[in-house]
Amino acid sequence: MNHKKAGTRKSAGFYIQAALWYPLLYSIAILPFSWLYLLSDILRFFIYKVFKYRLKIVRQNLANAFPGYSQIRLKEIEIGFYKHLCDMMVETIKLLVISEKNVRKRSFVSPANTVYSDYYSKNQSIIAVLGHYANWELVCQSAPFFASGRIMVVYKPLSNVFFEHFFNHIRSRTGGFTVSMANTLSEIIKHRHEVIMPVLVGDQTPSSPQSAQWLKFMGQDTPVMQGIGKISKKLGFPVVTNEVVKHSRGHYEVIPKILIDNPSNYTEDEITQMHTVWLVQIIKQRPGLWL
């Protein structure tokens, strides 16, 4: 159940948007994946070649992140970025109707990886860290199937209430629940007698950059949210990173690894720096999947 529904802020504008958007989104969502990827290819042509969506920003970010790369290599990453961007767009819409069987098949943890089950067997709540990388929306929807305990997906509220409702719906339709960043700690304390797993995106832009920790991220000075470090230290939750490997279109393997088992050995700033360094390393392995 979604404990923090965007519905509390619904207005006439929301219902108008819902009436316009949902018929279109569901019409796309019911298409088979083969058709969705054909649609993705068409979208990529228009977004990349015709409208050149954010092309200057993408090129500048790549140049900053990979100063030693040749123009040929940067072009390869650029093309891969737009291909993955459009794939993720159609995959995310598909999450409106996708079956549990398909979710399990398309986002999974190897049975040989026992990180989550080991912590659950000890009744230990943990923090799961992702990045805006690969398809984090699919991973969030699949999390209840490969991780034990209550799955709490932490999100940053959007200015558009309809799309906040849309994303909260797809993130919670398999059994997890969504919580806004501002309410994270209070919700965790509310569920302190349960084994829970807050899922946080490590490169989420902080609500208040002035109070954030500033670190070098992909070649640029960047404000990094400190929620992971604060929660880990305050509540003693271990931190588990989740590398996501895209094996093919729509098929992702999640690789959980223990980043911090005993938070008492680190400061909040050190924890923030550690998960940021981890994410940079993962992005550099497959930069075209970073969104």
Helix axis angle, 12-29 relative to 71-94, nearest 10°?
A: 100
Residue 239 resides in a domain = yes
Residue 1 resides in a domain = no
Residue 158 resides in a domain = yes
- Pairwise CA distance, residues 144 & 268, whole Å: 28
Q: Which domain holds residue 15?
A: 6-289
Q: pLDDT tens digits for 110-152?
A: 999 999 999 999 999 999 999 999 999 999 999 999 998 899 9
Residue 230 one-letter amino acid: K
Of the listed ranges 15-19, 100-104, 214-218, the least confidently predicted one is 214-218
Residue 187 resides in a domain = yes
pLDDT of residue 91: 98
pLDDT of residue 4: 46
CB-based contact 17:158 (threshold 8 Å): no
Is the per-residue pLDDT at 7 higher than 60? no
CB-based contact 108:242 (threshold 8 Å): no
Q: Is 0.85 surpassed by the pTM of this model?
A: yes
Q: pLDDT tens digits for 52-68?
A: 999 999 999 999 999 99
Mean pLDDT score, 34-39: 99
User: Tokens 């767009």, residue?
Assistant: 89
Residue 204's pLDDT band (boundaries 50, 70, 90)? confident
Question: How many structural domains comprise the chain?
Answer: 1
Residue 9's pLDDT band (boundaries 50, 70, 90)? low
Residue 206 resides in a domain = yes
Give the DSSP letter string of 68-107.
Answer: TS-HHHHHHHHHHHHHHHHHHHHHHHHTTT--HHHHHHHE
Mean pLDDT score, 174-186: 94
Pick from 243, 251, 248, 232: which is nearest to 279 by CA?
A: 243
Q: pLDDT tens digits for 212-234?
A: 889 888 988 888 888 999 999 99
